[in-house]
Amino acid sequence: MHLLVVQKFTLKIVGYGATSDGYDMVAPSGEGAERCMKQAMATVDTPIDYINVHGTSTPVGDVKELGAIKNVFGDKIPAISSTKSMTGHSLGAAGAHEAIYTLLMLDNDFIAPSINIETLDEAAEGCNIVTETKENAGLQTVMSNSFGFWWYKCDINF
């Protein structure tokens, strides 16, 4: 038996970006991700508190995404995690899933961790990567990164 509780919440999209990165089908340059995040932040007046990164655990993709985040946020990098670490990659549905997970975290004020991390890449230095659930996170504005093959990119801020 399952008991479901319906919670009604009102959240709005406060920024979005959509770009592509023509560098390589599966190996991004990072420039498109950077432009996409900047576009998404252009209409946002508050700082981003959390990013649900694309984070597929690929050496090339994750390093380029973290580099883009560092370039965009400088020394004010928000908390970062990848829900794919818990769910796997759902391919075509990944962007929708991650946006939903990001909304649930915003509505319930927690950050789900990136799990199964044994050793962080040197590229992660200076990044606030969440490895344990963070309750009462104080989330006000969050970002969901979705990047696909040919590095089509989409960012949504809530």
The CATH number covering residue 50 comes to: 3.40.47.10
CA distance 71 to 65: 10
Q: Where are the alpha helices (DSSP H) in 13-146?
A: 31-41, 59-73, 84-87, 94-108
Residue 93, in any domain of the structure: yes
Number of domains into which the chain is organized: 1
Residue 83, in any domain of the structure: yes
- Per-residue pLDDT tens digits of the chain, which is 158 residues long: 445 555 666 778 888 888 877 666 666 667 778 888 999 999 888 999 999 997 777 776 778 889 999 999 999 999 999 998 867 676 767 778 888 899 999 999 999 999 988 888 888 888 999 999 999 999 999 999 887 765 555 666 67
Query: What pLDDT does 82 receive?
Result: 93
Residue 10, in any domain of the structure: no
Can you give the pTM of this predicted structure?
0.84
Tell me the two tokens of residue 17: 């970006």
Residue 7, in any domain of the structure: no
Domain range for residue 149? Answer: 16-157
Query: What pLDDT does 25 receive?
Result: 62
Query: What pLDDT does 50 receive?
Result: 96
Residue 85, in any domain of the structure: yes
Residue 147, in any domain of the structure: yes
Query: What pLDDT does 59 receive?
Result: 74
Tell me the two tokens of residue 138: 């104080």
Query: What pLDDT does 8 receive?
Result: 64
Residue 2, in any domain of the structure: no
